[in-house]
Amino acid sequence: MRKPRGIRMVSALCLGCFIVVIFYFNSSLRPEHLSERSSGQKTRRSPLQSLYEGEQVESAVAAVHQGRRELLEEACRSYTRKRRVLIPEDLKHIIVDDQHGLLYCYVPKVACTNWKRVLMVLTGVSGDHKDPLAIPANEAHVPGNLRTLSEYSTPQINQRLRSYLKFIFVREPFERLVSAYRNKFTRSYNTAFHKRYGTKIIRRHRPDPRPEALEKGDDVSFEEFVYYLVDPATQREEPFNEHWERVHSLCHPCLIHYDIVGKYETLEQDSRYVLQLAGADQQVHFPASSKSTRTTGDMAANFFQNISPFYQKKLYNLYRMDFLLFNYSVPAYLKFR
């Protein structure tokens, strides 16, 4: 028997209560700027105000970031077909600093450990540590040390998306991928990754593997890692691990309007700029990175030497959106062109 229309409408509304969606139209809404008031009753500009309304800090750097925002917006218009609303699952990588009005989407293998350390200092959860490098790396990744946007209510999420400075740091996609491979599969201490992913990769993509390799999973080659990534069965079985997941899938840059798109290639300059906008550049300094162990373009080229053009093309297609959205050129060392 068909229910009366009124009852159907009430049922639909009740069902809707269980579906949390975040109505955040990043392109059509003007950012809402909030000022913070200190104990002396003087208002302090929020980072968003400093970026869009105040006198520009480092105007040359500001122009670079304006250009990056415009390129990202144009790429989103050109390469994304459908828009959708955000759900809490989309926001698990966005760290919140309520004290300084910051939202940071962390991307593994793009200095996220140091940014988490900096945010631990800024939010006060680092205890007596005022130097980010004094915080052990494993402590920076402990769940619960820093709040993520997904933990807030829908109204609180919307308010922060409108009024906080949203920033992200990205990296040349294949340099990031090689960095993830080197860190997770060539370091003897990463036994958890060897067991969790290495054994699976060897079982599926190595002919006649030795029993020891099947048990330990500690000698995965880069070629086998590539085969695993481009195998359609991989993502059908489970989502990519965050260390090799695409940036656009982690941070949703066509759904969230990022005010600052920092790049690994200009890490120190861009990090300093974010801290200046937040008024925190005297409180904490972003740690200088070690260039001796950094994965470079030349290093990535060496890893791709043994990858056939067929698999290079498949891998590029997998990461194509990250190349396009963040204005990275197709690497010259690829052979499929």
Q: How many domains does the chain have?
A: 1
Q: Is residue 331 part of a domain?
A: no
pLDDT at 288 over 50: yes
pTM for the complete prediction?
0.88
Q: Is residue 178 part of a domain?
A: no
Q: Is residue 284 part of a domain?
A: yes
- Considering only residues 217 and 15, tell me which one the structure prediction assigns the higher pLDDT: 217
Q: Is residue 41 part of a domain?
A: no
Write out the residue range of the structural domain in which residue 130 sits: 47-171+246-293
Q: Locate 242 and state its tokens.
A: 């965050």
Report the chain's mean pLDDT, rounded to a whole number.
88
pLDDT at 286 over 70: yes
pLDDT digits (tens, 9 = 90+) for 222-243: 999 999 999 999 999 999 999 9
Q: Is residue 206 part of a domain?
A: no
Please report, to the nearest 10 degrees, the dihedral formed by the alpha carbons of residues 202, 200, 330, 260 taken in order.
Answer: -150
Q: Is residue 129 part of a domain?
A: yes
Q: Look at the alpha carbons of 83, 88, 92, 95 in this order and tell me if their dihedral is positive or negative.
A: positive
254 neighbors 234 (Cβ within 8 angstroms): no
The contacts found for 52-59 with CB under 8 angstroms, 24 or more apart, are 52/259, 57/273, 57/276, 57/277, 58/273, 58/276
pLDDT digits (tens, 9 = 90+) for 54-91: 665 668 899 999 999 999 999 999 998 877 889 999 99
What is d(CA 69, CA 1) in angstroms, rounded to the nearest whole number? 55
pLDDT digits (tens, 9 = 90+) for 41-62: 446 789 999 998 866 566 889 9
What is d(CA 164, CA 300) in angstroms, rounded to the nearest whole number? 36
Q: Is residue 37 part of a domain?
A: no
pLDDT digits (tens, 9 = 90+) for 111-124: 999 999 999 999 99
